[in-house]
Amino acid sequence: MVVFPGRLLIWGCTLFRGRWSRPWGAALLERFHHPAQVVVTGFLVTIVTGALLLSLPAATADDGSASPVEALFTATSAVCVTGLVLSDVGERWSTFGELVILGLVQVGGLGLMTLATLFAILLSGRLGLRARLAAQVETKTLRPADVRRVVRRVVVFTLASEAVVAAVLTGRFVAAYGEPPGRAAYLGVFHGVSSFNNAGFTLWPDGLVRFAEDPWIILSVSAAVIVGGLGFPVVFELARRWRRPRGWSVLTRVTLAATAVLLAGGTLVLSAAEWNNPGTLGGLRESDRLPVGFMMAVMPRSGGLNAIDVSEMRTESWLVTDVLMFIGGGSAGTAGGIKVTTFGLLAFVLWAEMRGEEHVNVGHRRLPEGTARQAISIVLLGIAMVTGGTFALLVMTSHTLDRVLFEVVSAFGTVGLSTGITAGLPQAGQLLLIALMFVGRIGPLTLATALALRERTRRYELPVERPIVG
């Protein structure tokens, strides 16, 4: 019997007296004090399940089995759609192991609660309030009543997008590289799923470096990363209102504007910095440098695929990439980081403060105070995680600050780009990256909420005192 991970065990239905009975795990669900705890628990269960599967001898290509740390690291990287690995995927893991990784990527990309909600709908035809709230945390929908409709659209859109990318890659592998149809389809599906889910896993030791001069592959995977990283609410709103930009929500406007600025600015800065670097863009034909430079700006938003040797990039390029990885992609999508929405909203907060305005306005809308506080909290928690992780790795290793910072931000932003030091880190350092990937995937604010035993509401207001700031 196949057991779906996470909360499917709680929402599983049993057949009793010819009709669907109350979920047998409902009482267990009541033990959770907040829906975010369900998300955290679900991801933990999925990671442990994946690690156990990857620990089997059948999962590795050679004799023996993977060590517990390697299996746990790979499973966490897959579920958290990161892409950091301790060994080459195509050489280390068997076909069974690769399929396990691919399945974990799919589960992590869709969101464990999204999958669990879908199966609960199919099995029982209805959801309780707590189940809807749990799915709401993962899908970032605004109202619990929207969960069913959103989950169906998310799954259909994800599978359709992955199929399109896989078809393009499969055809290219057959036509341009002479791969047999079966092998080409396998490569196309694997990298189609990996790119759309911003996972960063490839079956070649050099990533996509061998395809750097093939715009069909470079631009296809870049487009998949962008679409998957925009966020499902933005994609769905664009599908409905693409002809009426004045009616776009604040979320869509901020996400698209910030994404365009980061992609354009990242492409120009990274291309200029690496244009004559023989280890990266300088080794390519001039006509191929700009597409690869564009890919270099796309992948830090959480894609993690590389068409150049990241370890050969200049220090200033690493710094720019650090910033792009920390910001990440859109909310409620497959990307990581603090999200471009958070970054964009903070820009409006800064603009309002500079103008001396009491409220933060975006277009013809005013942001509630809680949204600004949430954005600031996410950024500060992210900075704390990156700073603490960087300090710890510097203590553990002899690597330079630029390389260690790059690795830590890549793990926290669930990106997967690496300067090549991950595999050589001590076991404690690898466990630290596991923790950063996990926190980066579920979000610092979600983790903090899940760990809170209960919500506390202050029943009185204290006197106001304005301290000196700055």
Of 411 and 137, which is predicted with more confidence? 411
Residue 124 predicted with pLDDT over 60 = no
Map out the domains of the chain as residue ranges: 8-449
Q: Which residue, 117, 142, 134, is CA-closest to 34?
A: 134
pLDDT at 17: 35
Q: Place 27 in a pLDDT band, splitting at 50, 70 and 90.
A: very low
Query: pTM for this structure?
Result: 0.85
Q: What is the dihedral of CA 232, 234, 236, 241, to 10 degrees?
A: 180
Instruction: Give the Cα separation of 468 and 13 in Å (integer).
Output: 58
**Minimum mean pLDDT among 287-291, 422-426, 463-467: which range?**
463-467
Output helix, strand, coil percentages for the chain, rounded to the nearest 5. Answer: 65, 0, 30
pLDDT at 327: 94
Summarize pLDDT for 162-188 with one digit per residue, the tens: 999 999 999 999 999 999 999 999 999
pLDDT at 11: 39
Map residue 19 onto helix, strand or coil. Answer: strand
Q: What token pair was written down for 440? A: 């980066």
Q: What token pair was written down for 237? A: 């709103």
Residue 217 predicted with pLDDT over 90 = yes
Instruction: Give the Cα separation of 470 and 464 in Å (integer).
Output: 19
Mean pLDDT of 377-387: 92
Summarize pLDDT for 321-339 with one digit per residue, the tens: 999 999 998 887 788 899 8
Residue 16 predicted with pLDDT over 50 = no
Mean pLDDT of 40-63: 92
pLDDT at 149: 75
Q: Give the containing element (helix H, strand E) for 149.
A: helix 147-177
> Which ranges constitute the DSSP H helices of 275-368?
286-298, 315-327, 340-354
Of 367 and 409, which is predicted with more confidence? 409
Percent of the chain residues topping a pLDDT of 70: 81
Mean pLDDT of 229-240: 85
pLDDT at 435: 95
Summarize pLDDT for 411-454 with one digit per residue, the tens: 999 999 999 999 999 999 999 999 999 999 887 656 655 555 45
Instruction: Give the Cα separation of 106 and 84 in Å (integer).
Output: 16
Of 56 and 28, which is predicted with more confidence? 56
For residue 359, give Cα distances in angstroms to 104, 140, 141, 369: 43, 24, 25, 8
Angle CA 78–79–85, to nearest 5: 25
Of 61 and 32, which is predicted with more confidence? 61
Mean pLDDT of 68-73: 96
